[in-house]
Structure 1
Amino acid sequence: MRKVFLLSMLLCCLVGIATAQTRRLTGKVVNNENGSGLSGASILVKGASQAAVTDQDGKFAITIPTGNVVLVVSSVGFASKEITVTNQTSLSINLTSESNALDEVVVVGYGERKKKDVTGAMSSLQSKDIVRSNPTMAAKAIQGQVAGATVTKASNRPGAPYNITIRGENTINNSTAPLIVIDGLMGGDINNLNPNDIQSMDVLKDASSTAIYGARGANGVVIITTKKGVSGKPKVSYDGYAGIKYLAHVPKLRTTAEFYKLAYTDRIAAGLPGTVFTIAEQAKITANETTNWADVATDPGMQASHNISVSGGSENTTYRFSAGYLNEEGNVLYTGFKRYNLNAGLDSKISDRIKAGFTSYITYSDQNWGSQESLRGAFRARPTGTIYYKDLTNPSQNGDINVNGLAIWMGINDKQVPNPLSDIDPITSKLQTKTISAIVNAYVDINILKGLNFRTSLSGSHIGQEIGDWRGTWSKSQLANKPRTQLDNKKTQSYTIDNILTYKTDFGKHKLDFTALQSAFYQRDELATIAVKDLPFNSYWYALQTGTITAQGSSLVERTLSSYMGRVNYAYDDKYLLTITGRSDGASQLAEGNKWAFFPSVAAGWKISSEKFMQNQNLISNLKLRVSYGEVGNSTVNPYSTQASLLNTGYDFDGVAATGFAPLNLANKDLRWERSKELNFGLDFSILKSRLSGSIEVYDRNTVDLILNQKIPNLTGFSQVTANVGKIQNKGIELTLNSVNIAKQDFKWTTTLTFTKNNNKLLELYGDGQLVDKGNNLFVGFPIRGNFDYQFAGIWQLADTTAAKVYKQVPGSVRVVDQNGDNLISSTNAIDDRTYLGTQLPNWIMGMTNRFNYKNFDLSFFLYYRNGVQYRNSTLSGTFGELGTRYNSLASLNYWTKDNPSNTYFSPYVANPYRGAINYQDASFLRISDITFGYTLPQSLKNRLKMSNARVYAQVSNPFIFTKYTGFDPEFNSAIYQDDVPSILVTMGLNISF
């Protein structure tokens, strides 16, 4: 009885303690627009299990812990809100309709606008979207998240950049990259930025949006705004991760037994002599030992990123400082990329009328790409080879050499491929790029009168690069010759001055916004290069004077752009929108009479959902129709291309060799801008209480006056002249969808989907009626970047012996289509059986991000699909496709023999003059990537730790890819000697702030 009494007393005490640690909170959740109560809204204590749901009047009651508590309040169709509760006992909480998220401000170029008032085609990415996948390069964040943008990595090498095109390719010989604007600086390098320092990226796509940048807007514009300080007490944030890059999706090569069958057994069966193997190789064959050179030359690599920032300020002055470090090791030994970033920003309200500020950004990177040949050598070297000299059975048989313990010829008679480990050694081969870049932007903002504002800004950029390429004695390119090296020093400086005058006013139902701009841009590019051979020792590029100079040179290129722009934004009754823009640009690259060009645009919008006839319905919360037309130019005309140039050449002068100068090309003073004209229709929508929202864009862009090399009669002394000839069309459709699939009290599932379909077509070539330029793979009526060759029709079989003989072929040879049926395969101009096979441009692209939130847990993953690209597989046509006795090859190549009548790959034992036709492959692929699982610490624990945020996560990047392409990576046409193996990156990360 006594024990029962004591237990009862203990329970009462515990209940009392629990009661003392909680309290009751009541309140109401209302619609911010009309004050009506919101039924079914959920109220959740962040980081805890307590939750409640509002009744039909929007009222709720919830038990919460004592002390400071954060409530997460959400309702379908409304933006979620976090409320900090101190000692209140009752609350009134206003939720804003997600359609009002359209009040979000976006950067449109030389100004900002509310998203709901934008009339052009643009997409925006915020910081959380940019860092979602932990990209090493900021450009990757655009991939699959911006409809209309095609983002492709240049290689798998550490620190490799990404290439961006927007709405297809508008030019053939000039740059297709969009204009990058970083905090007002035009022409910045996106690859030098730390993604963690970016607040937003606004992508301008149609000509009416990019016309404000005139001659530089033809390829689209990406406006990058870096993070700024926010008033309040200092906030310290850390974002970082560390992980391992595992080799993945690596093609399997032949084992020793499979190679022996190819090089000996099947050769004899085909009536050819079998390959003669050395004693060392025979020992490998007998023991069935395989040297996996690809495995020997590669290893998992580490990758880590650490970023720390401090921000804060007063009501009048805010600041932000940050530092970042990235270390990415390659999977090929001794390769890697390191980047260091420093960022500082200050904004100050000097007086009631004057604001001033600056942003500075400094980056230093060190990129080591090692040998150009080591990886290719690893995939070509025979599996019968021996790694170390000490393990050779009879090194004298093949004249092998001991180089730092390695068997340089691997115990093989054929000396085409040296030991891959020798080429990988930094003493033997090294390709290093050191880059330092600095960006500075300073501004003064003056409020002259009510609504009248003047802003002047100065932006400057400096990029310095040192590129050293070292080839030692036992590198693949030297093979026992003395070392050689090359050193390039590049320097680019640019300055931009912008003076902007804006005036905003409204009267009655009318709103007007005027912007006037005067801008000046200057860029200077310097290059100095020197190449040296016969170096006496391993000095890399630091003792050039000890060798023999084989080449040297330097260059200086300067360009300027002067601009004037005017823009008018008009809105009536907040329903009908009109934007008119005009910009005039003058560029130094062009000759007098063609330097200046005017680029106009007009755009209109109609907010249909604001009309009276749309008010008494609940299906559609936002519906806006847009139409725009604009003209833009491509200023990437090579400087001095309007002028004639000279060539340093040799000639015979009365039997004596002499040097002098000769004309290299004809001048063309009439050269002018490439010009794009675009019509765009857009529809923005939000339905089902904003559970489904998005936009649809349909566009038609025509680019005229393409700058191409036009052929001219040889009697002129020249074969061609640079001229404005040719037309390209890009038209397509873009779709962006955002959906709230499930929204429960503790669980939420959202999806973002983008779809891009672009049709590229060459409309005119050289302006003389010519329809085909086979040498440059250009065909009127087809997309550019085309593939022109014989069409693969399988392999000649034994039953086709008679038919094959007509074409001078035998069973086992590659069969191609006789396009004109004349029983002759020809490639002459008069009779050509080659044909247009496909394009390297994508047919359509889809990106999808799924996000799941359950209490404090979050899960997300990304799908990326690209369809329609055709590559001439660089690896299959060289590294992997060399079926024979010299090199190893893909194990999956099902080659033809009499006993194996394959119809997919030719016989290595017969002549194959059309073997190249087999190399064209569909490079469509589906990639599942960026699988992230995270956990945010409970609010109570964060309070005890005095943290404002704390989240840990694990991420797997690039775990799955589905494709029929047999090369390294279907995303780009990889050449093995310029690449790294694909990898799966597994990381653990931490986000905290105080």
Structure 2
Amino acid sequence: SWLVTLRTLFLAFLILAASATLNVQAAGIKIANPTKTNKLPKILVKGKVSDKSTGETLTGVSVRVKGANIGTVTNASGEFSLNVDENNILVFTYIGYKSTEVKITGNTTLDIQLEKSENSLEEVVLVGYGTVKRTDLTGSIASLQGKELEDQPNFRTDQALQGRVAGVVVQTNSGGPSAGVTIRIRGANSLTYGNDPLIIVDGIQNASIGTINPNDIKSIDVLKDAAALSVYGARGTNGVILITTKSGRESPFTVAYDSFVSSDRVRKRLGILDAKTYATVLNESQVANGYNPIFTQNEVDALGKGTDWQDEIFQTGATQSHNLSISGFSDKISYYVSGNVLDRTGVIINSAYRQYSFRSNLNIKATSKLTFALNTFASYDINHSGDPTGAVNSALSWSPTKPVYESNGKYSQPGGGVGPNGVYNPVAVAKEIVDDRYNKSFTFAPSAEYQITPDLKFKSLAAYKVIDRFSGYFNNQVANAGPASAIAGSTSMSQYTSLQNSNILTYDKKISDHSINITAVYETLQDQYRGSDQSAQGVPINLGYNGLSYATTTPYPQPRNEIVNTATRSLMGRIN
């Protein structure tokens, strides 16, 4: 299975790391604990960022807290505001300028002046099917280097972008351990169609940014305006994120281990009535509306605080990430191989997420003109939860006068004139509902590059990608004490495969102080989606969602099967 294979590969790397006697570079363990309760109140820091030499204000400067995923960007007037803790260090970064760090020691109004970087104009950035010096750049492109992510406890690449790139808005979709994000580049462009940007990893299109290990990233370039996006046509309407992974060319031989552990909890809970106050208010409401009280005075006096349902469903979540990589190069070969294990428990009971990933980048210089490359990536992730949304909604409305379990050991049920009748025990909703999701992905991408003349080269890339998804849902009717005939389950399976072939011819000539760059691209992309789902009732309780074929009730809706094939063929030319 995929899980056994990934575990075997990861164990192999551990054994190799233990036996290596060469130059070993080991990163220390990073521990982040954002849940300390003795922190001082937040401080609102405001300020303005300008160019040191001209005094002009700078728009889109990244302002973030060092060592944390907290940040913002300056507005059109170069101004910013951010809530931080005292003694935090703010890091100011902007393309073409040196980064600046400022420690917050009481001054809440800052005047930051950034100095231009001498080497910034010589920096090379990706522009789509090629690279260009920033001095020759005409479009709007923001860049983020992998080194800027190394000092952060990031477990997802998409979340690592938050507050780091001007014009890019990253929003987390939920508080679950596998929560994805929504990325918008310069806002939404469509009311009826998708607004997600095109993700390209090492030239491979339609990649999933959430599965990429942040430790594997060398650089991220974000194409934002029409000039930069034109080479991708309609696919680049919502922006393009170009990700380049590490190749192992930085040092002869390196074994690196990186790990971090962090904890999470709900920062602020809503204030709710305790059982005695709740019963008193309910009795007063009953009397005011001409009804008899629900509780006697003796019952009210004996209630006390009752059940705090938020305490019952919330817990302290934990995240641990372990990453091991081996990289190096020689005259003919460079390589980068990494394995990562991510394990998370959520802040709601019965929620957990685990991900295994493996990446291998190999480059071979066959001759002075011919170079081969092979990039391989595999990942497997498991997400398990109950019904967290339903549990939170129930916890905010369920009566504190009810216990979690009745005297017979079963979950307490709605009724008795207290609380809503259509909402069920929050603990039962969180624990008894089953919602499992499994995702497997594999990418195999060989490529070859031939230097035809000193100024002319040709590169061809062939990439095969497959993504398998499975989800299973099961409601055993324990939460609502329903009949066996109502026990319901459903499954959904899908497979996405794609085959991409990109052929790039590049002519790059320098003539005195001038240069000319011509790029021609011919590209084909074929993909197929297969999906099926089914649901049923009367499922044997001991079989879960795997027992749909033994259900006693005819499935409704009927099982669905779907196959969708698409193909695109593209031609592109560019002259700089």
Task: Please give the TM-score of this superposition, normalised by the length of structure 1.
Answer: 0.45
1:485: Cα distance to partner? 0.4
Aligned partner of residue 209 in structure 1, secondary structure: helix
1:562 and 2:569 matched: yes
Q: Does the Cα contact within 8 Å between 1:260 and 1:285 map onto a contact in 2?
A: no
Aligned to 2:245: 226
| Structure-2 change in CA distance of 1:98 and 1:300 (3 Å) | same
CA contact (8 A) 2:276 2:303 kept: no
| 1:287 shift after superposition | 3.6
Look up the match of 2:11: none
2:426 pairs with 388, 411, 420, which one? 420
Q: Is the 8 A contact 1:265 1:274 kept in 2?
A: no
SS at match of 1:321: strand
Deviation at 1:125, TM superposition (A): 1.0
Is the contact made by 2:318 and 2:345 (CA closer than 8 Å) also made in structure 1? yes
Q: 1:501 to 1:226 in 2, by over 3 A?
A: same
Q: Match of 1:389? A: 406
What amino acid is aligned across from residue 475 of structure 2 in structure 1?
Answer: R
Distance 1:151 1:303, change over 3 A: same
Counterpart selection for 2:275 from 247, 250, 256: 256
Q: Quick one: distance in 2 between partners of 1:287 and 1:159? A: 39
Q: CA deviation at 1:231?
A: 5.9
Partners of 2:391 and 2:427 within 8 A in 1:
yes
| 1:458 and 2:462 correspond | yes
Change (3 A) 1:411 1:387: farther
Deviations 1:282-310 (A, max 9, x none): 74653423210111122112210010101
State the alpha-carbon separation in 1 of the partners of residues 489 and 572 from structure 2: 49
Aligned positions of 1:112-261 closer than 5 A: 112-230=131-249, 232-261=251-280
Matched with 1:54 is none
Structure 1 residues 304 and 231, CA, compared in 2 at 3 Å: closer, same or farther? Answer: closer
Q: Check the 8 A contact 2:282/2:294 in 1, yes or no.
A: no
- Assess if the C-alpha contact under 8 Å between 2:286 and 2:294 holds in 1: no
1:487 to 491, 494, 497: 491
Q: What CA deviation, in whole Å up to 9, does each residue of 1:126-177 have, x standing for no partner?
A: 1133344423321112221111111111111111110111111111111100
How many residues were matched structurally? 460
Secondary structure at the aligned position of 1:377 is classed as: helix
Instruction: Compare CA radii of gyration and give the structure with the larger one.
Output: 1
Is 1:125–1:201's contact at 8 Å kept on the other side of the alignment? yes
User: Is the contact between residue 386 and residue 411 of structure 1 (CA under 8 Å) also seen in structure 2?
Assistant: no
Structure 1 unmatched runs, 5+: 1-76, 81-96, 391-401, 570-994
CA distance in 1, matches of 2:262, 2:132: 40
Q: Which of 364, 377, 402 is the matching residue for 1:348?
A: 364
User: In 1, distance between residues paired with 2:209 and 2:165?
Assistant: 16
Q: Percent identity?
A: 27
What is the alpha-carbon distance in structure 2 between the residues aligned to residue 224 and residue 477 of structure 1?
51
Q: Which residue is 2:395 aligned to? A: 378
- The residue correspondences of 1:637-786 to structure 2 (distance < 5 A) are none
Instruction: Work out whether 1:109 is the aligned partner of 2:125.
Output: no
Mapped pair 1:544 → 2:548: yes
How far the C-alpha of 1:413 sits from its partner, in A, is 4.9
- Once the two structures are TM-superposed, the CA of residue 482 in structure 1 deviates from its matched residue by 3.2
- Is the 8 Å Cα contact of residues 137 and 195 (structure 1) preserved in structure 2? yes
Q: Following the alignment from structure 2 to structure 1, what is the Cα–Cα distance between the partners of residues 243 and 480?
A: 43
Look up the SS of the partner of 2:559 in the other structure.
Answer: strand
The 5-angstrom pairing of residues 260-339 of structure 1 reads 260-266=279-285, 268=287, 270-273=288-291, 275-277=293-295, 283=299, 285-339=301-355
Cα distance per residue 1:171-224 (max 9 Å; x no partner): 111110000001111111111111111111110000110111112010000011
CA distance in 2, matches of 1:477, 1:149: 47
In the alignment, is the contact (CA less than 8 A) between 1:256 and 1:285 conserved in 2? no
Q: Secondary structure of 1:98's partner?
A: coil
Query: Per-residue CA shift, 1:916-973, capped at 9, x if unaligned?
Result: xxxxxxxxxxxxxxxxxxxxxxxxxxxxxxxxxxxxxxxxxxxxxxxxxxxxxxxxxx
Q: Is the 8 A contact 2:172 2:179 kept in 1?
A: yes
- CA drift of 1:275 comes to 4.9
Q: Is the 8 A contact 1:472 1:538 kept in 2?
A: no
Map 1:407-446; keep pairs closer than 5 Å. 407-409=411-413, 412-413=416-417, 415-425=421-431, 428-446=432-450
Q: Is 1:243–1:304's contact at 8 Å kept on the other side of the alignment?
A: yes
Q: Distance in 2 between matches of 1:257 and 1:231?
A: 66
| TM-superposition CA deviations, 1:583-622 (whole Å, max 9, x none) | xxxxxxxxxxxxxxxxxxxxxxxxxxxxxxxxxxxxxxxx
Q: Hey, what does 2:84 align to over in structure 1?
A: none
In the alignment, residue 348 of structure 1 is paired with which amino acid? I
Q: 1:282 to 1:205 in 2, by over 3 A?
A: farther
**Alignment-derived partner of residue 526 in structure 1:** 530
**Bigger relative contact order (CA 8 A; separation at least 6):** 1
Deviation for aligned residue 1:232: 4.2
Q: Which structure has more strand as a fraction of its residues?
A: 1
Q: 1:321 to 1:563 in 2, by over 3 A?
A: same
RMSD: 2.4
CA deviations 1:394-446 (Å, max 9, x no partner) are xxxxxxxx4xx234327845643333222222xx3110100001122221000
In the alignment, the residues of structure 2 paired with residue 541 and residue 121 of structure 1 have an alpha-carbon distance, to the nearest angstrom, of 49
Kindly indicate whether the alpha-carbon contact (under 8 Å) linking 1:165 and 1:176 is maintained by their aligned counterparts in 2.
yes
Aligned partners of 2:165, 2:97: CA distance in 1, in Å? 24
Residue number in structure 1 paired with 2:16:
none
Shift of the 504–377 alpha-carbon distance from structure 1 to 2, 3 Å rule, reads: same
Q: How far is 1:78 from its partner?
A: 10
Matched with 1:644 is: none
- Could you tell me how far apart the structure 2 residues matched to 1:475 and 1:180 are? 42
- Using structure 2 for the length normalisation, give the TM-score: 0.76
Contact residue 284 and residue 290 of structure 1 kept, 8 A: no
**CA 231–220 in structure 1, closer or farther in 2 if over 3 Å, else same:** closer
What does residue range 880-899 of structure 1 map to in structure 2 within 5 Å?
Answer: none
Please tell me whether the aligned partners of residues 474 and 480 of structure 1 are also in contact (alpha carbons under 8 angstroms): no
Q: Secondary structure at the match of 1:296?
A: helix
Cα gap change, 1:114/1:291 in structure 2, threshold over 3 Å: closer, same or farther?
same
Correspondence list, 1:580-659, <5 A: none
Give the Å deviation of 1:271. 4.5
Distance 1:284 1:224 in 2: 62
Q: CA deviation at 1:274?
A: 5.4
Residues in 2 aligned to 1:274 and 1:309: alpha-carbon distance in whole angstroms: 70
Whole-angstrom CA distance in 1 between matches of 2:564 and 2:166: 36
* 1:36-93 per-position Cα deviation (integer Å, ceiling 9, x unaligned): xxxxxxxxxxxxxxxxxxxxxxxxxxxxxxxxxxxxxxxxx9989xxxxxxxxxxxxx
Change (3 A) 1:231 1:384: closer
Partner amino acid, structure 1, of 2:291: P
Change (3 A) 1:407 1:457: closer
Q: Is the 8 A contact 1:482 1:536 kept in 2?
A: no
Aligned letter for 2:542?
N
Are the structure 2 counterparts of residues 79 and 154 from structure 1 closer, same or farther at C-alpha, using a change threshold of 3 Å? closer
CA distance in 2, matches of 1:526, 1:282: 63
Distance 1:282 1:478 in 2: 33
Match of 1:361 in 2: 377
Alignment of 1:878-917 (within 5 A): none
Contact 2:485 2:537 in 1 (8 A): no
Question: For residues 145 and 353 of structure 1, what CA distance do their matches in structure 2 show?
Answer: 39
